[in-house]
Amino acid sequence: MTGNLIAIDWGTTNRRVYLLDAAGQVCRTERNGMGLLAVPAGGFAEEVAAIRARFGDWPVILAGMVGSARGWINVPYLDCPAGIADLGAALHWLDDGRTAIVPGLADPAGDVMRGEEVQVLGAVAGGLVPDTALLCQPGTHCKWARVADGRLTTFATAMTGEVFALLKAHSLLADFLGGDVTDDAAFREGVRDGLSGRLTTLLFRVRAAALLGRRPIEQSAAYASGLLIGHDVGGEDLADGQVVHLLADPQLGALYASAIRLAGGTPIIIDSHAAFVAGVTHIWKASQP
């Protein structure tokens, strides 16, 4: 197997390993649940050694929460605006000189990211999005990032996925949120309400609507998800067809694309894995003398 670089997207619950060749093409990948929470304290070096044993003895570049206080080493955030060259110059090198962690970014308005910056800047560097663009990365903590002239200038995070999970697992609404979430009429009604309404009031009405027989209980989850995604999307001014580049898996991508259209925007779904690979490849190159 040929190789050149091992790139690891290491989050809190999942880990994805990519073996890249000299041209930045993916030779092999591995995805599993070996996120931070599954790694014992002090166990990161051993994990990386085991990955090298499986994938080949190549340089390793890591991104994501692995660079946080809960991860291997707490790498300081880099301030926005930041581009590929800034991340390449600010890599945190481990003592072996061939293992590096990409720093996360801080927005001056008071926000942070770790890992998403590689996808965002990789999407630009890889030619997947223009060098001035609005990008959205849905998920537990949904990121909205703006790039200008190829640099990430500002971003904001919404706790959209986490709040939905909290409501589903622990709230008074828990018994009402067991249904499927798809881009259907109930979801779109939720998006429309969530774009401009008061979130905590609209959420209470999910239960009231079921109690009053106004909405079948099996549609409550789709409506509630629409509320949260609508509240999230409503934070950006998307009227007049503003293009939003979505870095998302197909299911969440479809939901956000629908909500962005309802808000007047134009969604374009981008391959987030390709963006990550382009990002680490360009950051790595930028770090080399």
Residues within the interface to its own copies (CB under 8 A): 77, 106, 109-112, 141, 156-160, 162-163, 166-167, 169-172, 198-201, 203-205, 207-209, 211-212, 214, 228, 231-232, 234-235
Token output for 195: 């774009």
Cα 263 to its chain centre, rounded Å, is 21
Helical spans, DSSP H, in 112-249: 116-125, 160-170, 185-196, 199-211, 220-233
- What's the closest the beta carbon of residue 154 comes to its own copies, in angstroms? 12
Of 45 and 172, the one with the shorter C-beta distance to its own copies is: 172
Of 57 and 218, the one with the shorter C-beta distance to its own copies is: 218
- What's the closest the beta carbon of residue 68 comes to its own copies, in angstroms? 9
Q: Are 38 and 45 in contact (CB under 8 A)?
A: no
Strand partners, 10: 15
- What's the closest the beta carbon of residue 201 comes to its own copies, in angstroms? 5
Distance between CA atoms of residues 103 and 92, nearest Å = 7
Of 31 and 198, the one with the shorter C-beta distance to its own copies is: 198
Distance between CA atoms of residues 270 and 75, nearest Å = 28
CA neighbor of 272 nearest in space, from 152, 65, 131, 118: 118
Strand partners, 100: 61, 93
3-state secondary structure of 153: strand
- What's the closest the beta carbon of residue 85 comes to its own copies, in angstroms? 23
Of 51 and 203, the one with the shorter C-beta distance to its own copies is: 203
Q: What angle do CA 46, 106, 280 make, to 5 degrees?
A: 50
Q: What Å distances lie between residue 178 and 41, 184, 230, CA to CA?
A: 36, 16, 20
- What's the closest the beta carbon of residue 39 comes to its own copies, in angstroms? 18
- What's the closest the beta carbon of residue 77 comes to its own copies, in angstroms? 7
Of 6 and 228, the one with the shorter C-beta distance to its own copies is: 228
Which helix (H) or strand (E) segment holds residue 148: the answer is strand 142-148
Token output for 28: 């092999």
Q: Are 229 and 161 in contact (CB under 8 A)?
A: no
- What's the closest the beta carbon of residue 34 comes to its own copies, in angstroms? 20
Q: Are strands 5-10 and 15-20 parallel, antiparallel or unpaired?
A: antiparallel
- What's the closest the beta carbon of residue 202 comes to its own copies, in angstroms? 9
Of 65 and 123, the one with the shorter C-beta distance to its own copies is: 65
Of 170 and 288, the one with the shorter C-beta distance to its own copies is: 170
Of 84 and 228, the one with the shorter C-beta distance to its own copies is: 228
Cα 196 to its chain centre, rounded Å, is 24
